[in-house]
């Protein structure tokens, strides 16, 4: 009995259904139509180039098995890909792709894990209105203050923005803690690219939104337009990729889009709240892609950079703020930039409500609500860290045997503060400073007291340090 393509394909589907999950079956196999059968070659119609690539990457073995079960070891598969779904007047335009031997040993050609992503076919192009970029025009490089904390990330960002897809920073991966400027930076890149070239389709999307769009697409049987949209992006910005963790299907889709765009010279920019090596729950093959380009981190801005950020923000709002207030705020808020902005906003609000000028008194009052006195819970580690930062020397040096004058002074100051703020015994304090004995601590406490009496500059520094120690955001 001569079989028809429909019955062969139905048998194939029955087999496939027993091998793949229900959702995958619905998504990737139900939309396929059997078009023809000639000798031992069956032709199936798939809705898009992407669809074809996806099948070839993920299901090549399964397809081979079922086709050969039906048509014997000579069994072959050809794809007919709908390139343009056409209109009433025009028939759909299709190309036929034989699934065959690029590689002599494997007549099914492509390796399933490393598909060639050459896409010579035109996709349905998006009209301008569908090209929403999701960018916030307020984020630019000009208002992204440079400091040691972000120098590499910022300059890589500028390089990428000037030549998207051309530098070796592809993908560009920015990582750093919350509120340190990841979104600002990646959006600044996007805005710059858009300004330089209107034709470059920039898309900013959070990984969460990408995930939702993808799941909606699966639910509504809309994978085709989802992928059609993403494959046309020229500069793809994915924010907070850590949210992809554990979402296998979404990662697969993203992996595929990533490969396609990357191979076509498109720029990919990503952000994450931790270093790629710490991204648990992300597939290794995806993580290895991230390493192809450049990974740059963002740190908490140092004191001077925080001052510059405050001044820049106040200037942008047209608000005058005295230097001592800028200094006080930069000093007190050392958690992240978003929090620093929050404090500035409440300071402005307080000034408006009370119809007063912004001054140190008001700044202190404003901060009082969010700052708590840590006197009772201050520990040796915290004192060492604070003193180290203040004198710009490392905690190791404080504990070390070094006799350099500036280190000796800093060490004595730290010991003095430990005596003043903690309940540690002299012996215990000595122990925490590299195992010194209690007489060294007594000597340190005495020397610092003496210096405060005779040197007013030194006494002021001690006051600054105490102020800093007591100020810590909750
Ligand atoms: P993240 O995405 O890392 O959580 P954001 O990019 O949302 O952080 O930054 C938080 C806020 O801090 C934003 O309003 C941003 O404009 C501001 N900010 C962060 N870094 C800088 C910087 N270097 N210069 C100016 N503003 C900054
Ligand atoms: Mg962000």
pLDDT, block means (10 residues), the chain with 474 residues: 87 87 80 90 85 80 85 85 58 52 37 31 56 89 96 96 95 95 97 95 94 92 90 96 94 94 96 92 91 93 94 90 91 85 87 87 81 55 90 92 92 93 82 91 95 93 84 46
Omega before 171 within 30 of 0, i.e. cis: yes
SS3 of residue 435 by DSSP: coil
By residue count, the chain amounts to 474
Q: What distance in angstroms lies between residue 37's CA and the mean position of ligand 1's atoms?
A: 60
Where would I find the beta strands (DSSP E) of 304-372?
Answer: 371-372
Pairing of strands 294-298, 172-176: parallel
Two structure tokens written together for 38 = 């000639």
What phi and psi, each to the nearest 5 degrees, are found at residue 43?
-110, 130
Domain ranges of the chain: 5-98, 122-298, 303-373, 380-473
213 alpha carbon to ligand 1 midpoint, in Å? 26
SS3 262: helix
- Per the CB < 8 A criterion, the answer to whether 410 and 387 are in contact is yes
Of all ligands present, the nearest one to the C-alpha of 204 is: 2
**Ligand 1 centroid to residue 179 C-alpha, Å:** 6
Give the whole-angstrom CA distance, residue 270 versus residue 174.
Answer: 6
At 93 the pLDDT is 52
Structurally, what CATH architecture does the domain formed by 122-298 represent? Answer: 3-Layer(aba) Sandwich (3.40)
Query: How far away, in angstroms, is 250 Cα from ligand 2 center?
Result: 20
Q: Is 253 in the pocket of ligand 1 (CB under 6 A)?
A: no
Query: CA dist 317 to 29, 260, 309, 321, 344, Å?
Result: 56, 43, 12, 11, 11
Specify the pLDDT at position 110: 33
Q: Which CATH architecture has domain 303-373?
A: Orthogonal Bundle (1.10)
Q: Which CATH code for domain 5-98? A: 3.30.300.180
Predicted pLDDT at 108: 45
Contact between residue 98 and residue 81 where contact means Cβ atoms under 8 Å apart = no
Beta carbons of 183 and 337 less than 8 angstroms apart: no
Is the C-beta atom of 145 inside 6 A of ligand 1? yes
Ligand 1: which residue has its CA nearest to atom 26?
144
* Residue 250, pLDDT score: 94
pLDDT of residue 97: 56
What is the residue whose two structure tokens read 């105490």?
A: 466
d(CA 176, CA 170): 18
CB of 184 sitting under 6 A from ligand 1: yes
User: Quick one: 331 exposed, middle or buried, by C-beta within 10 A (0-12, 13-18, 19+)?
Assistant: middle
SS3 state of residue 180 = coil
CATH of the domain spanning 380-473, picked from 3.40.50.10800, 1.10.3720.10, 1.10.1750.10, 2.40.50.100: 1.10.1750.10
């Amino acid at each position: 009995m001569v079989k028809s393509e429909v019955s062969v394909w139905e048998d194939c589907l029955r087999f496939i259904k027993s091998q793949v999950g229900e959702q995958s079956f619905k998504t990737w196999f139900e939309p396929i139509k059997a078009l023809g059968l000639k000798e031992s070659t069956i032709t199936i119609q798939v809705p898009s180039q992407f669809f074809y690539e996806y099948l070839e990457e993920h299901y090549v073995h399964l397809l081979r098995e079922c086709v050969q079960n039906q048509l014997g070891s000579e069994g072959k598969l050809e794809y007919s890909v709908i390139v343009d779904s056409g209109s009433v007047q025009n028939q759909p335009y299709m190309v036929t792709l034989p699934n065959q031997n690029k590689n002599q040993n494997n007549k099914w050609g492509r390796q399933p894990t490393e598909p060639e992503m050459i896409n010579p076919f035109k996709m349905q192009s998006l009209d301008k209105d569908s090209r929403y970029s999701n960018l916030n025009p307020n984020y630019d490089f000009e208002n992204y203050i440079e400091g040691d904390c972000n120098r590499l990330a910022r300059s890589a960002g500028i390089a990428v923005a000037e030549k998207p897809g051309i530098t070796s920073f592809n993908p560009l991966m920015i990582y750093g803690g919350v509120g340190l400027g990841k979104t600002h930076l990646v959006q600044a890149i996007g805005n710059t690219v858009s300004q330089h070239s209107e034709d470059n389709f920039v898309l900013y999307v959070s990984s969460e939104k990408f995930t939702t769009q993808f799941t909606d697409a699966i639910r509504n049987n809309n994978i085709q337009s989802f992928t059609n949209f993403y494959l046309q992006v020229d500069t793809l910005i994915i924010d907070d990729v850590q949210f992809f963790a554990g979402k296998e299907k979404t990662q697969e889709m993203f992996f595929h889009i990533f490969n396609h765009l990357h191979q076509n010279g498109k720029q990919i920019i990503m952000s994450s709240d931790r270093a790629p090596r710490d991204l648990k729950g992300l597939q290794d093959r995806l993580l290895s892609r991230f390493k192809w380009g450049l990974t740059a981190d963002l740190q908490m801005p140092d004191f001077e950079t925080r001052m510059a950020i405050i001044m820049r923000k106040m200037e942008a709002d047209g608000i005058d703020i005295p230097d001592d207030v800028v200094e006080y705020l930069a000093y007190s808020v050392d958690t992240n930039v978003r929090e620093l902005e929050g404090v500035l906003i409440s300071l402005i609000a307080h000034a408006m409500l009370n119809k007063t000028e912004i001054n140190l008194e008001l700044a202190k009052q404003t901060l009082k609500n969010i700052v708590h006195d840590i006197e009772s819970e201050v520990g040796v580690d915290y004192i060492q860290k604070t003193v180290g930062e203040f004198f710009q020397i490392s905690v190791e040096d404080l504990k070390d045997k070094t006799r350099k004058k500036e280190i000796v002074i800093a060490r004595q100051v730290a010991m003095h503060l430990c005596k003043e703020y903690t309940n540690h015994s002299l012996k215990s304090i000595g122990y925490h400073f590299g195992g010194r004995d209690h007489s060294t601590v007594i000597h340190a406490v005495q020397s610092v007291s003496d210096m405060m009496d005779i040197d007013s500059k030194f006494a002021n520094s001690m006051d600054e340090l105490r102020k800093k120690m007591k100020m810590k955001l909750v």
